Amino acid sequence: MRSLTEGNLADCLLNKVDLRRQWISQMVEEVQKVVHHLTTEISHQDIRFQAVPYSDTYNENIKVLAPTQFLVTVPLRGLAGYREARQQRWRYYTLQGGRLPCPLRDPEGLQQWLEVEQFLKSLWQWHEADVNIEGDIVPARVLQVFRKLVENAIETCHLPGKVSMLMDRPTVRVAMETFTGPVELELIPSLEIPTSWSKKARWPSCLRRWPSAERAQCIKSFGFNLLACSNYHWQLSFLRAEQVLLEQLDEDGGCRRRCFQALRQMKEDVWCPGKTPVITSHHLQMVLFWTCEKYPHPKDWRVFSKAFLRLVRKLHKCVSQHLLKHYFVRKSNLLRYANSSELDAVAQKLAFFLKNPEITLP
């Protein structure tokens, strides 16, 4: 056991961070080869789905949520010239094409409807009944089409021994064997909305001092994405904007990135390990962004131990309260549907650490 005050925390944790980076890099390399192969075949079968490109550096379509849990966004095409919906209307349809006596609930937080008429240009395939109901492009139907394409691609690409469908999931998930063991990939069709910023994302707030106004405008210029991962509503995603924020964290010479990496390492090794943890790297990013906004000055990020504990305290507060607001859409609580008992267990471990900050890495 090494005490934080002894100055050993940074060295020990960041050594683990370096090992993790090498390990994850190898795993991502293996994953993206298979994903590129599968999605290339899918794009040949259905023009609405694009292949996930292969990248020698950072692949923005593959996000590591945990060491054995990956989020893969599969680009959609054939829809261009997005604009916000002009008027609200009630929906009474079911996924099977029937009629409901009462309208469907309105989208909440990170959700929205998507009508084909919101695009200036659209392929005729997006008007077909396999994905479209009464003018809406329906995520559940997109997923139904996509799931069948993935199943066929696994067979066509001769990958049954390496990749298998996980059938008891609402979204499209596959298990994949890698050199270190099995990992789980969630494949989500993703529609890029470039150069436009969602009206639901009322960011930045007026009084905040981080990031700068110029940086905020640059980040908003990257637009957002809509993910098909539920029944009726599309989910807003800001993965590209989040990545830009992460890449430009420490231009003032601070230790924000190192603190985030150390926080993630402790989360994965001690506080919340496991294949499908209740707290993921994406949650930690939100904690980091909120803390950077609250502590915008370079002096706040000069001493690693103090800055790291500041992040841990913020994480503990969010997990204890079961409340973590999305950084761009503040009405959305990212822990709303998380398992309460699992959150409480993580909060207990964090509280124990904060009482006596020591590292107990395996």
Report yes or no on 224 lying in a domain.
yes
Enclosing domain of residue 176? 2-77+145-359
Cite the beta strand spans of the chain per DSSP E.
2-3, 62-66, 69-75, 79-82, 111-112, 119-122, 132-133, 136-137, 163-166, 172-178, 181-193, 224-227, 234-237, 358-359
The model scores a pTM over 0.85: yes
Tokens, residue 271:
């506080």
Q: Could you tell me where the DSSP H helices lie in 70-221?
A: 139-156, 213-220
CATH number at residue 29: 1.10.1410.40
Q: 257 with 250: CB under 8 angstroms? A: yes
Q: What is the pLDDT of residues 310-343, one digit of tens each?
A: 999 999 999 999 999 999 999 999 999 999 999 9
Report yes or no on 138 lying in a domain.
no
Q: Which residues contact 41 (CB under 8 A, 6 or more apart)?
A: 152, 153, 156, 157
Q: What pLDDT score does 1 carry?
A: 42
Report yes or no on 223 lying in a domain.
yes
Report yes or no on 112 lying in a domain.
no
Q: What is the pLDDT of residues 161-200, one digit of tens each?
A: 899 999 877 899 999 999 888 999 999 999 999 989 999 9
How many other C-beta atoms can be found within 10 angstroms of the C-beta atom of residue 166?
Answer: 13
The answer to whether residue 76 scores a pLDDT higher than 90 is yes
Report yes or no on 353 lying in a domain.
yes
The tally of domains found in the chain comes to 1
Report yes or no on 87 lying in a domain.
no
Q: What is the pLDDT of residues 26-67, one digit of tens each?
A: 999 999 999 999 999 999 999 999 999 999 888 999 999 999
Report yes or no on 287 lying in a domain.
yes
Cite the beta strand spans of 18-133 per DSSP E.
62-66, 69-75, 79-82, 111-112, 119-122, 132-133
Q: What is the pLDDT of residues 105-153, one digit of tens each?
A: 999 999 999 999 999 999 999 999 999 999 999 999 999 999 999 999 9
Report yes or no on 156 lying in a domain.
yes
What does the alpha-carbon distance between residue 303 and residue 107 come to, in Å, rounded to a whole number?
43
Place of tokens 């916000």: 84
